[in-house]
A and B are shown apart, each in its own frame.
Chain A
Amino acid sequence: MTFLQFIQLQFKSKFRSVSLGRDLIAGIFLLIVLLLILSYIVLIAVSLPFIIRSFFEIDDPIGFLNSYILFFFATEFLYRFFLQKLPVAELQHYLHLPIPRWKIVHFLLQRSFITLLNFIVILLLVPFTIVEVAGSHGALSAISWLGTIVLISWTVHWITLVFKRGIGDRLIGYMIMLTVYLLSFGAQYYGWYNIGEWVKPFFDLAIISPLPIGAALILFAVSYYGAYQYYRNRAYEEEIEKKGRNFVENSQIDFLSRFGTAGAFADMEWKLIIRHKKSRSYLYISVLFLLYALTFYPSFDLAESALDRHFSLFVGLFITGSFLYNYGQFNLSWNSANFDYFLVQKNGIESIIQGKAILYIAISLITYLISLPYVYFGIEILFIHTAAFMFNIGVGIPLLTFISFWKPKPMDINKSAMFNYEGLGAAQFLMFLPMIAIPYIIYLPFALTMGYEAGLTVLTLFGLIGIIFYRQITRFLISRLYKNRYGISSSFRQEI
C-alpha cells in the first residue's frame, strides 16, 4: 500500500462519515463556519501590516512581531491541544495486514499533518511577509523569516501530538494548559519578565542569516522523529484507548435514590456522564462556562447602567444553565446507544424524562450556588442569577426537552468531543434562540416600563409556574415522546 492509497481511503472515510453524510443542514452550517473563520484569518492577514503600523504606531513591525511570535506559538499550542486529533484509532484497521508497522505509523502521522491548522500560520503571515519583509529586506530574507516561523509552528504540531497522547483527556491537561497560558500572558502584561524579548534575536537573525531556518528545520525533523518513535512504541491495540481496565469507582449519588425509578435513572445518567469521553468533556466545558461571566461583570456598572443589567440576564441564564445548555442540547442522543432499552422498559420513557430533569435541576442548583460569589460585582447579580435560575428550572428544562425531541441524532459517546459533529442536527443550532429569546420576551416589557426588578419578578413567576405545573408539563412531554418514539428509535438504530 502506498501513502497515496492510504490518503484516498482517509478521504473516503471523511466524506462517508456518519455524522456529516446524514445531515445536510449540519454540513452546510459547518461549511459556513469554516468559511467565516477562513475569511477572518485572511482579513487579519491582509490588514496585519496596517494594524501594526497605524494602530499600534510601531515603526519596526518586524521587530514587534518577532517579540510577540512566542505568544503566537503558545496560543497555537493551546488550540492545537483542543482541536488536533490523534491518529491512533485508525491503527486497529491495519495492524493485522501485511503492512510493516513503521509504515502504518508514518502514514498515520503524515496524515495527521494534513490539516487546516497547519496552514493558518502561512495564511496569516504571507501578506505581511510580502509587504514588510520582502519589501525592505528582499525575497530571500522573506523566505528565511517565514520559513523559520512556519517550521516552528509545524514543530508544535508534532509536540502537541505527543503531549496530548501523554496527558489524555484528563482535567489536569486542560488545567496545565490554562495555567501556562495565563502565566505567560500575565508575565508579559505585568512586566515581571518578558519571554517574548528573549527569543526575539532568533527571529531577527532569520532575516539576515539562514542559520535560524536551518535550526528550525532540524527542530521540525527531530520532533517528527520523536513523535514517530513515541507512536511506534505504542502501536498496539491495547494502547489505542487508555480505558477499559480501570477499576470502576463507586460514584453512587445517594440522595438521588429518594426519587424512586426516576432517581435511579438520574444516577445512571450521572454514571454515563463521568464514564464516557464525550460527556465528560461537556461536563468540564460546563464548569469552564462558569468563568464566562468574568469577561463581562468586571467592566459592568450594574448599579447605574440599565443596559448592563439587561445584558447580565443573558450572562445569568448562561451561567446557571451552563450544564443544561451544553450537555442538555443533545438530551436523548446521549442515550442513543441504548434507547430501545428505555422503550421496552416499564415506565422507561417516564423515567428517562424525569431522571434527566432531576439531574438538570440538581446540577443547575450547584452551578447557581457556585455562581453566587459573583455578587462581589454587585448585589444585582444575586437577583439576576436567582431569576435566571428559577426560569431555567421551571421553563428552560421542559422547553429544552421539548425541542430535543425534534429529530435527535445518534452519537458515539466514547469519542472525543472536539471537532465531533455527531448528534448535531437542526434542533441543536436553533435551540439557543428560544432558550435565550423567550426569557427576554418575558423580561423586557416589564423591565423597560417598571424597572428590571419587575422584569426579574415576572421571570421568576414564570419559573415558579413551571415548577408548580411540573407534573402536567412532564405528562405532556412524555406523551410527545411516546408519539415520536418510532422515529427517534429508528434514527438512533440507523448507525453506530
Chain B
Amino acid sequence: MITINSLNKVYDGTTVLDIPELTIPQSQCFGLVGNNGAGKTTLLRLILDLIRASTGEVQIEGENVSKGESWKKVTGAYLDAHMLLGYLTPDEYFDVLRKVHKMSDADLKLHNERFESFFNGEILGQKKYIRDLSKGNKKRVGISAAFFGNPQLVLLDEPFESLDPSSQIRLKKIVEKEKEEKSTTFMISSHDLDHVTEVCERVVLLEKGLIIQDIAGTREDKFEALKIYFSG
C-alpha cells in the first residue's frame, strides 16, 4: 500500500526524518510510536504530501504522492483540527464531505450509522460550530471524516489522545472491523502503548527521525519491547 524510498526531510540543516526504506502492505495496521520530536507527524504529513520531502519519495499504490493525486481518492486522514472547517456544524461539514466524495444521502446515512456509537449522540444534530466543540468532540468529527468515501488507507495522528475511555475502545473496534471487512490499511501514531500494541500488528519505533525498531509479534511481545525502550 505504502512504499517509502530514501525519504528525508531537512529543516534549516537539521534532519528531522530519514527513512531509507519502508513498506506497508495492504490491510496492515501500522503503529507509529516515539517520543516527542521523533518525526511521527512529519512522516504522516510527508505521506499526505502536505509538506515537501527534501529527498526521496512516498508511493501510495505505486503512485508518487507528490506527482499524482489519484491516491487521494483512496486515502483518508485526520492529523489535526486545521483539517476541519471550524465555522460549520458537524452536520454541515459532513454534508460538504459528502459532496466532495460524491456520495449520496443514503451513503452519508450509512456512514453516520457506522459511527453512531462512537458519536454517542454528542455530534450529530448539535447546534454548535465545530470550533466551539470540546477537544474530544473535534477529534470524533475528524476521525469519522477520515473514513468518508471508504478509503483503503487511513492515517490518524494520535487518535486516542483526548478521547474519553469509551470512545477509545469504540475507535479500536471500528479499526478492527474496517480491517476485517474491507481490508483497510491503517497508519496510527500514538503515545498510548496499550492501545497501539493492541490494535496494530506491527509497531515501528522512531527516534530523532530514524526507525530504530520494527516490532511484530504478539501484543505482549510488542508491549514488552516498547516498555524496555521507554523506561530506559
Contacts and interface: CB of A to CB of B under 8 A. Distances in A.
Interface residues of A, number: 23
Contacts of A98: 69, 72-73, 75, 100-101, 149
Contact of A5 (B51, B99, B132): B99
Contacts of A237: 45, 50-51
Given A9-B85, A12-B88, A97 B52 contact: no
Nearest to A494: B132
Contact of A16 (B72, B96, B129): B129
Given A98-B100, A98-B149, A236 B69 contact: no
A7 interface: no
A238 B52 contact: yes
Contact of B99 (A1, A100, A236, A247): A1
Contact of A238 (B48, B51, B96): B51
Interface in A216-274: 236-238, 245, 247
Interface residues of B, number: 30
Contact of A245 (B11, B88, B99, B129): B11
A5 B52 CA distance: 29
Contacts, number: 62
B87 A17 contact: yes
B84 interface: yes
Find the residue from B12, B49, B87 having the highest chain A CB count within 10 A. B87
A495 B149 CA distance: 32
B50 A236 contact: yes
Nearest to A17: B87
Contacts of A16: 87, 129
Contacts of A236: 49-52
B82 A93 contact: yes
Interface string A25-59: 00000000000000000000000000000000000
A17 B87 CA distance: 7
Contacts of A1: 96, 99-100
A176 to B, nearest CB: 26
Contacts of B82: 92-93
A96 B149 CA distance: 13
Interface string B138-150: 0000000000010
B97 interface: yes
A97 B100 contact: yes
B211 interface: no
A92 B83 CA distance: 6
Contacts of A9: 85, 88, 96
Interface string B152-183: 00000000000000000000000000000000
B46 to A, nearest CB: 11
B131 interface: yes
13 contacts: A1-B100, A12-B92, A16-B129, A95-B48, A96-B48, A96-B50, A96-B79, A98-B73, A99-B72, A100-B69, A236-B52, A238-B51, A495-B131
Interface of A: 1, 5, 9, 12-13, 16-18, 92-93, 95-101, 236-238, 245, 247, 495
Interface of B: 11-12, 45, 48-52, 69, 72-73, 75, 77, 79, 82-85, 87-88, 92, 96-97, 99-101, 129, 131-132, 149
Given A1-B100, A13-B87, 9 more contacts: A1-B96, A12-B88, A16-B129, A95-B49, A98-B72, A98-B75, A99-B72, A238-B50, A238-B52
